[in-house]
Amino acid sequence: MRSDVPIAERHKDGCVSAEQKRPTKHTVDPTRLGSIFHEPWWLDVVTGGQFDEVSVDSSGTVVGRLPYVTKRWMGFKLLLMPPFTHVLGPAVVPGNGKPQTQLSRRLSIIRSLIDQLPPNDYFMQILGDVSIDALAFQDRGFQVLSQYTFEIDCRVDLDKIWTAMNFKTRQHVRRGQEAFSITTVEDPNHFVRFYRDNLRKQGRVSFLPLETFPALFSETHVRGCGELLSANRPDGKPAAMIFLVWDQGTMYYLLSTRCPDTGDSNTISLLLWSAIERAHKRGLTFDLDGVSSSGTARFLSNFGGRPKIRMVVQRSGPVYGAIQYMKQAFARGYRNDTSTFF
């Protein structure tokens, strides 16, 4: 999650620390509770250990968790998602029984998690696969919004996936295969330097804490759930790179960067096809995360995935909400006032 606000000093309000709340292998089975982004080791590395979570126990076993990071901005307390983390929300074990029984228990657990959150001025998270979880947040007065992504079921025959892709995208992949070679990157610092250099050439800066990326890559690499791919020119220099992570069911397109002088989309198309091949070998679905505009939606939809809606839940305190509303209104007014000059 990107944010311009500074990280808060921790535990001034008496909250229990992440280390104290962090579940152990004796109380929780991570494969049953959420995605890779819920894993304690993931949360630990992307936050430098600066995360908290609330949990629900049943007979000594953790059946629900809701991790978050605390940040402070202009005196306001914000509960947000960690960087590099595309989805989060509650991780719940609904137990056995009829579907309606499991749903009722699931929503009850999530409401209990929400009720345990510390006082705050703003809360925001993007929920994962179980969009029905938003009902519990809505019941507690949260605003529910939507975010879009595309997902490819890579468990089917690879030829079927190839055929489902837009013919122009297949052409981009073929041209990419003729001009570039695909290799894995073992040195995360190589990726960071390449990423920063590409941003510098575009006059941009990263909102991500790239200094923590080497540690994140190392943790995923040693666990066999992360990979850096590079599309290289004939001289061996990289033209584009992507970072992939995966859990038991899904591979995520987490990060990408392309040299501005490449001048086409062949490199990213080739890298995404290489990711699809890897997801197929692992029997995973592939989440083409990153639908931030109509342009990226068109690009990603050409890979043949199905559109998928994620639920975004947020809730603001009255003062913080009023400030954000005024900022948005000012931004809208500024755009309207200046649009006639362009």
Grade residue 264 by pLDDT with cuts at 50, 70 and 90. low
Q: What pLDDT is attached to residue 342? A: 29
In the predicted model, is pLDDT for residue 25 greater than 80?
Answer: no
Q: What pLDDT is attached to residue 291? A: 73
Alpha-carbon Rg for the chain, nearest whole angstrom, is 21
Distance, in Å, from the CA atom of 122 to the CA atom of 17, rounded to the nearest integer, reads 20
Which of 305, 168, 267 lies closest to 297, judged by CA? 305
State the CB neighbour count (10 A cutoff) for residue 173.
21
Spatial CB neighbours of 25, under 8 Å, sequence gap ≥ 6: none
In the predicted model, is pLDDT for residue 64 greater than 70?
Answer: yes
Distance, in Å, from the CA atom of 135 to the CA atom of 110, rounded to the nearest integer, reads 9
Q: How many H helices and E strands in the chain?
A: 11, 12
Q: What pLDDT is attached to residue 154? A: 96
Q: SS3 for 249?
A: coil
CA distances to 67, 80, 169, 336 from 329, rounded to whole Å, are: 32, 23, 39, 11
pLDDT for 176-197, tens place per residue?
999 999 999 999 999 999 999 9
CA distances to 37, 38, 236, 251, 298 from 285, rounded to whole Å, are: 16, 18, 31, 6, 20
Grade residue 322 by pLDDT with cuts at 50, 70 and 90. confident
Grade residue 294 by pLDDT with cuts at 50, 70 and 90. confident
Tokens encoding 83: 């960087």
Q: What letter does residue 129 receive in the DSSP assignment?
A: S
**Amino acid in the structure at residue 305:** G
Mean pLDDT score across all residues of the chain: 85
Beta bridge partners of 42: none
Distance, in Å, from the CA atom of 251 to the CA atom of 244, rounded to the nearest integer, reads 7
Angle at 156 between CA 227 and CA 170, to 5 degrees: 70
H helix intervals, the chain: 18-21, 40-47, 99-116, 134-139, 158-164, 167-179, 188-201, 213-222, 266-282, 294-301, 318-338
pLDDT for 146-174, tens place per residue?
988 899 999 999 999 999 999 999 999 99
Q: What pLDDT is attached to residue 24? A: 42
- Domains of the chain (ranges, CATH numbers): 18-141+310-341 (3.40.630), 150-304 (3.40.630.30)
Whether 89 contacts 125, CB under 8 Å: yes
